[in-house]
């Protein structure tokens, strides 16, 4: 029987500390398999629910991997990927000390195309909101922003004045985002895009496709086109900001 430290912290935290202290010391074999919940119950003298909570939280924090029916394992060192941050364009422009202005080209209710309804994961055809806005930095158009919005989550989208409130701000305020999908690509400007952004047809544009979810429901689909010569996505990131 192992005795956990006699501090003020809750029991499941002590169990977490105990497990963390034993990760990396090689104490748990070269297959990096932890004792089972029931073994920990026996060796630590706490209930299985408490052990389970400790293990679940360490798993969600990325330290462990658990397989039902198999066991609990130490997670491999962090996956080789880096993150970049995508900011709200209005805020970004203002932060650079420049003036931001929006021009609303379209704000309407439409029936989605079959393809769009599919992207929304709609079982049947329901009408959705559709907006097209051009964002200016010091009177120079930098971003063409087309959005499709799920009206069941954001009811009054079509009644807003998006030349005053940025669409992004309104959406973020109205509904919590639980998941985001991004696809970034480079595309040549089509005729309409070129006209709105004041660039040549065929000029390189950065194209950002974004879907956001609230729970299991697709909340918004956005297609953001940036004039390639006038804009780039940038970020600086420290991986060491995790627990």
Query: Which residues of this chain interact with its own copies, rule CB under 8 A?
Result: 16-17, 20-21, 23-24, 57, 60-63, 77-78, 80-88, 91, 153, 168-169, 172-188, 202-207, 210, 214-217, 226, 228, 231-241, 243
**Comparison of 14 and 196: residue with beta carbon closer to DNA:** 14
- H or E segment at 106? strand 100-110
Choose the one of DNA, its own copies, none that binds residue 50, judging by a C-beta under 5 to 8 angstroms depending on kind.
DNA
As measured in angstroms, the least distance from the Cβ of 21 to DNA is 17
* Alpha-carbon distances of 97 from 92, 100, 133, 138, 156, rounded to whole Å: 9, 9, 21, 10, 31
As measured in angstroms, the least distance from the Cβ of 37 to DNA is 3
- What are the phi and psi torsion angles at 153 (to 5°)? -100, -35
Pairing of strands 179-188, 217-227: unpaired
Give the separation between CA 76 and CA 72, rounded to whole angstroms: 12
- Whether 169 and 100 have beta carbons less than 8 Å apart is answered as no
**Comparison of 3 and 185: residue with beta carbon closer to its own copies:** 185
- What are the phi and psi torsion angles at 211 (to 5°)? -120, 140
**Comparison of 66 and 210: residue with beta carbon closer to its own copies:** 210
- Residues that bind DNA in the complex, under the rule CB under 7 A: 10-13, 34, 36-39, 46-50, 52, 55-56, 59, 66-72
**Comparison of 69 and 234: residue with beta carbon closer to DNA:** 69
């Amino acid at each position: 029987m192992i005795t956990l430290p006699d501090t003020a912290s809750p029991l499941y935290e002590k169990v977490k500390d105990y497990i963390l202290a034993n990760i990396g010391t090689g104490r748990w074999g070269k297959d990096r398999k932890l004792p089972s919940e029931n073994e920990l119950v026996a060796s630590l003298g706490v209930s299985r629910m408490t052990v389970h909570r400790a293990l679940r939280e360490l798993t969600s924090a990325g330290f462990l991997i658990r397989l039902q029916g198999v066991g609990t394992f130490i997670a491999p060192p962090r996956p080789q990927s880096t993150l970049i941050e995508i900011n709200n364009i209005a805020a970004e422009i203002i932060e650079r000390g420049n003036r931001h202005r929006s021009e609303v080209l379209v704000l309407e209710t439409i029936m989605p195309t079959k393809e769009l309804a599919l992207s929304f994961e709609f079982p049947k055809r329901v009408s959705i909101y559709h907006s097209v806005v051009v964002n200016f930095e010091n009177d120079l158009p930098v971003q063409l922003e087309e959005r499709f919005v799920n009206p069941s989550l954001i009811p009054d989208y079509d009644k807003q004045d998006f030349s005053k409130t940025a669409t992004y701000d309104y959406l973020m305020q109205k509904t919590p985002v639980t998941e985001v999908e991004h696809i970034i690509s480079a595309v040549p400007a089509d005729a309409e895009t070129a006209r709105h952004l004041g660039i040549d047809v065929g000029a390189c544009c950065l194209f950002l496709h974004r879907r956001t979810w609230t729970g299991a429901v697709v909340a918004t689909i956005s297609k953001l086109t940036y004039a390639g010569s006038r804009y780039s996505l940038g970020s600086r990131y420290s991986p060491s900001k995790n627990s």
